[in-house]
Amino acid sequence: MVSAPARQPRWTRRKNVRPSEITAAALEVFVEKGFAATRLEDVAARAGVSKGTVYLYFDSKEELFKAVVREGLIPAIAEAEKRVAGHRGSASDLLRDLVRGWWQLVGSTPYGGLPKLMISESRNFPEIARFYYEEVIIRAHRLLREALRRGMESGEFRSMDLNTAQFLVFSPFIMFLVWQHSLACCESESLDPGAYVGEAIEMVLRGLAAPGTGPQAKARR
């Protein structure tokens, strides 16, 4: 009598794993469950490794979260800084480039779930809030202020308070991500992300335009 073959496990833990595989799994779990509810056991299971393997690379959940941010968001900001430094066109085109680049590298990827996580949990986790603010928010605001400053100096944009404007300019895009990772599950007809981002940046630019400039002014000439 031939014995039945032994059942194979659905998956097996892997001994050889790169830190980037763990951070990729962590990103998925953080976005799905939030920071508070995420356990290192969950991340280990998603990555197919033991909890001890996670600890070989990361001392704590906080350090793992910081690694996720540094791996995905910091390179995107560095890329945006290069774009600003090398841009020689109009301030409007620079803002379009920044927003579209951000959407391509962050908003349309799993990293787009991190703003909602930070908004909902920063008060309870001041250490990661401070880290995110210093590593991500400050640098992103600096880029926005630079684009707005160039537009004001060239006469393309109206005079404005840069510290206030930097929040107003990017809020529609952050709120879109919050919507996508929360109430969008209740939508009967989903918003098209590309259409939303394109329309939002044009509306922002119309609000920034100095008197006598912009598409409407050109149409009257």
pLDDT tens by residue, 88-111: 999 999 999 999 999 999 999 999
**Are 87 and 21 in a shared domain?**
no
- Across the range 190-205, mean pLDDT stands at 95
pLDDT of amino acid 46: 96
Q: Same structural domain for residues 30 and 109?
A: no
- The residue with greater pLDDT, 12 or 9, is 12
Domain membership flag for residue 167: yes
Our count of domains for the chain comes to 2
**CB-count exposure of residue 196 (10 Å: 0-12, 13-18, 19+):** middle
> What is the mean pLDDT of the segment spanning 184-211?
94
Instruction: Say whether both 186 and 198 belong to one domain.
Output: yes
pLDDT in tens, 176-194: 999 999 999 998 888 899 9
- Are the C-beta atoms of residues 95 and 47 closer than 8 Å to each other? no
Q: What is the pLDDT of residue 72?
A: 95
Residue 220: per-residue pLDDT: 46
77 found inside a domain: yes
* pLDDT of 9: 38
Looking at residue 158, its pLDDT comes to: 97
In a domain, 142, yes or no: yes
CA dihedral 99, 102, 107, 108 (to 10 degrees): 100
110-162 confidence digits (pLDDT tens): 999 999 999 999 999 999 999 999 999 999 999 999 999 999 999 999 999 99
Average pLDDT, the chain: 91
Please check whether residues 54 and 65 belong to one and the same domain. no
pLDDT score of 16: 61
Q: What is the CATH number of the domain that holds 40?
A: 1.10.10.60
Q: Which helix (H) or strand (E) holds 161?
A: none
For residues 155 and 166, state if they share a domain: yes
Residue 84 and residue 21 share a domain:
no
Write down the pLDDT at residue 7: 44
pLDDT at 190: 87
Q: Assess if residue 182 is contained within a domain.
A: yes
Burial 154-173 (b: 16+ CB within 10 A, else e): eebbeebeeeebbeebbebb
- 4 belongs to a structural domain: no
67, 166: one domain: yes
Q: In this structure, are 35 and 105 located in the same domain?
A: no
What pLDDT does residue 217 have? 52
**137 belongs to a structural domain:** yes
Residue 2 included in any domain: no
| Count of CB atoms situated within 10 Å of the CB of 126 | 10
67-91 pLDDT, tens digit each? 999 999 999 999 999 999 999 999 9
Residue 198 clears pLDDT 70, i.e. is over it: yes
Domain of 51 in residue numbering reads as 12-58
**pTM of the full structure:** 0.85
> Does residue 79 share a domain with residue 178?
yes
Residues 103 and 43 placed together within one structural domain of the fold: no
Are residues 84 and 121 located together in one domain of the fold?
Answer: yes
- Residue 174: band (very low, low, confident or very high) from pLDDT cuts 50, 70, 90: very high
**pLDDT: is 188 or 199 the higher one?**
199
Domain C-terminal end among 22, 37, 58? 58
Same domain? 114 vs 29: no
Instruction: Write the CATH number for 138.
Output: 1.10.357.10
Of residues 85, 13, 90, the one with CA closest to residue 54: 13
- Please give the pLDDT value at position 11: 41
Residue 133 in any domain: the answer is yes
